[in-house]
Amino acid sequence: MRIVFFLLTMFVVQTMTAQSIKVEVSSDSILLGNAFKLTYLIENSENELEVPNIENMDIVGGPNYSNSIQINNGVRTSSQSVSYYLKPKTEGKFFIPPITIIEEDVVLETNAIEINVHPNPDGVITEIESNDNPFFKSFEFPFDDFKINPFFDKMEKEKKNKESKTKRKLKKI
């Protein structure tokens, strides 16, 4: 009975930490002159991601990295994502090639993704959706009032004092 329980536990732990890789795009159909977001998501893998050369696309942003490690009841899971912002050079149908990762005798591969780029006669440019946290949007950072170096502040005060003394002397004359 103990052996069955042990084997069952090991099977559950192994399936919980299985490796995976996915690829996502913000839009698979865009107008020429616009950009889209390409994100690779890797779970429970220690391998570095090598992004393939994507023809007819300019990288206009990235790479942006995000990493997460969690340990729950002794089970470690990790995830990482790498994002790029790509802008097509011409209109047409393009493919983002698959990525392959070999992890402990397991081959992980993404699917190729088709991107359709349509003509843009009106020059419409759309913003890419952002996951910006609204919490930080409410803060204003008044760095004009922020003093980092007290020595610099002292020098600025002395400079202003000299200027005001010079102005007073000029007024007397």
Q: What is the pLDDT of residues 85-125, one digit of tens each?
A: 999 999 999 999 998 888 777 888 889 999 999 998 888 88
pLDDT given at position 137: 57
pLDDT given at position 21: 87
How do residues 48-69 score in pLDDT, each as one tens digit?
777 778 888 999 988 898 899 9
The rounded mean pLDDT for the chain is 78
Q: Between 104 and 72, name the one with better pLDDT.
A: 72
Does the predicted TM-score (pTM) go above 0.75? no
Q: Averaged over 126-132, what is the pLDDT?
A: 66
Q: How far apart are CA 16 and CA 38, in angstroms?
A: 26
**DSSP H stretches of helix in the chain:** 2-16, 134-137, 150-172
Strand blocks (E) in the chain: 20-25, 29-31, 36-43, 57-72, 75-88, 92-96, 100-103, 106-109, 113-118
- CB distance 128 to 36 below 8 Å: yes
Radius of gyration, alpha carbons of the chain: 28
CATH architecture, range 2-124 = Sandwich (2.60)
For residue 37, the Cα-to-chain-centroid distance in whole angstroms is 10
